[in-house]
Chains A and B, each alone.
Chain A
Amino acid sequence: MENLMIDIIEITLPISVWIALLLLCTPILKRSYVSKWRYYMWLFVAARLVLPFKINLAKPITMPIPQTIPTAAQTPVVPAAGIDVQKLVTFVWILGVIVFALYQTAKYISFSGMVRRWAKNVTDERILHAVKAAKDFAGVTRDFNVKLCKVVTTPMVFGIVKPVLLLPCIDFTDAELTIVLRHELVHMKRRDIWYKLLVMAARAVHWFNPMVHIMASAADRDMEFACDAEVVRSQNVDYRRGYCETILRLVHNGRGRGTALSTCFFFSKKTVLERFKGILDEKIKRNGVVMFCVIAVSVAVSGGVITFAADSVAEVIEDDLGIVERPTPPPAPTAEPTTEPQPVYGDDTDDTYYEPESDDGADGYVYEDDYTVPEYEDYVPEEPEYTDNGVNDITIGDERGSVYDRLGEPESSAANGMKDTYSLDDGSTAVLQYEDGTLEHVYIVEPSGDDADTDNTGVTADGAETAEE
């Protein structure tokens, strides 16, 4: 059950991005592509939102996983304490879905009851004849009831299982009747109620995501545009103008009538104007099938991509936790002062951090066998700190002699024999501090540094970082 919640989140996030992109591109799409394009795209998006399956195809595409994901630290997944939180979130989510579904069902039943109370069968032959003609126009073959209903101000198709065509009690002219019936029957032919039901299901499942509700509004709007386009297809400008006037008449009819129920809250003035423009637009537009397919496939696999990324984030987090739990990160060379020379990583003058794994000997240093790679990985994030402090590298060693073998005799030695200094190519000075022949600290003194001592950070030979006193 908890996993289902994760699946939902993994889908809701990338799909939200797609919705935002599609909404942003709508003005461009509108100009060159048919409204049906958007209509089907929303259908596809809604279907993707409702079906929380993962698409495995995405796995090879996202390979390889980056070793460290920058957002890993911010990811609010806390494996240990998170189980209860996850249960709670899942519970709230399910509760939201149920509340949303119940509310919509109550609304539907309530409206349905009201329609039933006020609807009367149409007996007017003129209307029935016009309905038959519109059925032929739209290609609807199934039978349905046509009713006059006082509670509606606009023609509508209502009913999921058994659709009913509801007409308001207005005296339509023949031309108006033709237009409104064609419009409604195109809806019926396309089974737009099922479309709306699917979009509503997406809203129910993703009730917490405002993008999904915005998408539902856009889908409603584009459904009307697509329907208009079908009704006016290959019709002349007079017909199109008549269509606009019919809509306007219904706008007037709905005005100020507290008596009737109204629909389509989304249909503001702006939307109506857009519809008028769309209806009058006789430009032939592209279907954009190829683009549709490309975007549809991208939308389909989006959830999968995130799924995989999220998995790798979880892995990284687990690794991090593993590291934390490890008692002591690196091996401590001084703990067992061997006679073997300890490697010096990198050249003092070089800012590059030498990856311990790159045991190729190219830098002239041979790594000891007891240096295991995983432990050194732990040091990776600490790298910038050393360079920032002017200490270029860590030297872990035990015997002065082995250092002399590598670096040669020091330029100068302190009187007490505890410190050796070497001049480096960039003008800075490397200071090696010994105690009983064991290398304790190494630091680089920048030439300009007046208070070089306080600036420097040394690294003790046991690997723990210390600030120089």
Chain B
Amino acid sequence: MKLKKIPETELEIMQVIWSNPTPITTTDIKRELEKTRPWSQGALQSLLSRLAERGFLKTGVLGKSKTFEPLVTEDDYLKVESASFFKRFGEKGTITGLVTALYDSKTISEKDIEELDAFIEKIKKEGK
């Protein structure tokens, strides 16, 4: 299945669903979302049905209320989104030169990491 990029407002909803036990009812979603800002019931319902249409959510029924379950995990979706970013800007380049990060690299290999581990092990032993 080809996943499309989730628009910002819908992503807020997805993040609530991902970070709470599912299936989750519309009322519970609304309560979680309103921790940050007020939501209208109608808008939330239409956004939820749109997400379900696109294949991100599975709907169900619990008593009287509609419930939702994610069909895509957060990690999987994140992978798709960052892959599209790298597709646009090149796998090997930096994401942007304008951050000051402590450390990070995509290009480091397992073997390199082992060597770094060995180095740290060595200095640990020397210290004792």
- The total of interchain contacts (Cβ-Cβ below 8 angstroms) comes to 162
> Are B78's CB and A155's CB within 8 A?
no
Within 8 Å of chain A (Cβ to Cβ): is B3?
A: no
> Are A110's CB and B89's CB within 8 A?
yes
Within 8 A of A (CB), among B44-65: none
15 contacts between A and B (CB under 8 A): A107-B93, A107-B96, A111-B96, A114-B81, A117-B11, A152-B104, A158-B99, A184-B102, A241-B127, A263-B104, A265-B93, A268-B107, A269-B108, A272-B116, A276-B119
Within 8 Å of chain A (Cβ to Cβ): is B71?
A: no
0/1 string, A233-269, CB within 8 A of B gives 1 = 0000110010011111011101100111111111111
> Are B127's CB and A267's CB within 8 A?
no
Within 8 A of B (CB), among A216-247: 216, 220, 223, 227, 237-238, 241, 244-247
> Are A255's CB and B108's CB within 8 A?
yes
Within 8 Å of chain B (Cβ to Cβ): is A338?
A: no
Counting chain A residues whose Cβ lies within 8 A of the other chain, the interface size class is: 35 or more
Bound Cα distance A150, B15 (Å)? 11
How many residues of chain B are within 8 Å of chain A by beta carbon?
41
A110 to chain B, nearest CB (A): 6
Within 8 Å of chain B (Cβ to Cβ): is A154?
A: yes
Point out the residue from A108, A199, A272 that lies within 8 Å of B103, measured CB to CB.
A272
Stretch of A79-87, A190-198, A292-300, A459-467 at the chain-chain interface: A190-198
- Chain B contacts of A444 at CB under 8 A? none
0/1 string, B101-126, CB within 8 A of A gives 1 = 11111111110110111011001100
Chain A interface (Cβ within 8 Å of chain B)?
Answer: 104, 106-108, 110-111, 114, 116-118, 150-158, 160, 180, 183-184, 187-188, 192-193, 196-197, 199-200, 216, 220, 223, 227, 237-238, 241, 244-248, 250-252, 254-255, 258-269, 272-273, 276, 280
Highest count of chain A CB atoms <10 Å: which of B82, B95, B109: B95
> Are A154's CB and B101's CB within 8 A?
yes
- Chain A contacts of B95 at CB under 8 A? 107, 111, 261-263
> Are B108's CB and A254's CB within 8 A?
yes
> Are A251's CB and B123's CB within 8 A?
no
Bound Cα distance A216, B113 (Å)? 25
* Given known A193-B98, A259-B75, contact A114–B85 (CB-CB < 8 A): yes
A304 to chain B, nearest CB (A): 29
> Are A259's CB and B82's CB within 8 A?
yes
* Given known A260-B82, A269-B115, contact A160–B98 (CB-CB < 8 A): yes
Q: Which are the 10 A-B pairs with shortest beta-carbon distances?
A: A269-B112, A156-B101, A187-B100, A154-B104, A262-B106, A259-B78, A263-B101, A262-B104, A156-B99, A261-B95
